[in-house]
Each structure stands twice: as C-alpha cells, then as structure tokens.
Amino acid sequence: MVHFTCDLCGKDLTASNDPRFVVKISAYAGFDPNQITEEDLDDDHLEAISELLRHEHGDAGTDEDMPTFKGFRFDLCATCHGKFLKDPLGRDLIRSLDFSSN
C-alpha cells in the first residue's frame, strides 16, 4: 500500500479519509524575445537540443551551471492546502519574522 503524509505538517493521509491535495510547482527561466534576428535564424538548434538533453541526463555541465527548469511536487492535507492557497509564496510568514536592526 502506498503511504502518504502531508509534506508540511506530517499528518498521515493514508489512514484518514481526509482528501489529499497535490501541489506541483515549476520554476524556469522566463524568455520574452522582442524580435527574431538573423543570428537567431543562424543558430544550430539541433546542437542546442542535444546539449539540453545531455544536461538533463547529467552527462554535461558543472555545479556552477544554473538549471533552466526545476519541478517540485508536494502532498498536502486539507488544512495545509488551504493555508497554501491563501499565501502560496509565504509572504505572511516572512513579514511575521521580526529581526533586529543590528
């Protein structure tokens, strides 16, 4: 049997009849081209795709390379799901921390 727990509070979601909510977050670099240039048309797109595939499978790149895509998946109970929907970026938590100015 598959076992699920809430990734925020740790509540066992397998034994209870409470619903389980799945939250998926994708983080990737935004790209907003203004216009297509001659340089864009001259690029070797097959080589770029090959490089992306090598990087995706861990064959190329270093630790200094910043990933272009990162995905996250979380299982949440109904209570934590409601809290997430109200403040998905955790801004209220950050505001509630009161650090000294020294």
In a domain, 96, yes or no: no
Ramachandran angles phi, psi of 84, nearest 5°: -65, -40
Cβ(13)–Cβ(21) below 8 Å = no
In a domain, 19, yes or no: yes
- CA 13 to chain CA mean position, Å: 23
The mean pLDDT of 32-42, rounded to a whole number, is 74
In a domain, 97, yes or no: no
Give the tens place of pLDDT for each residue, 50-97: 887 877 665 444 545 566 789 999 999 999 999 999 999 888 877 777
- CA 92 to chain CA mean position, Å: 20
Structurally, the chain folds into a number of domains equal to 1
Q: Which residues contact 55 (CB under 8 A, 6 or more apart)?
A: 61, 65
The model scores a pTM over 0.75: no
Please give the residue range of the domain that contains residue 5: 1-29+67-87
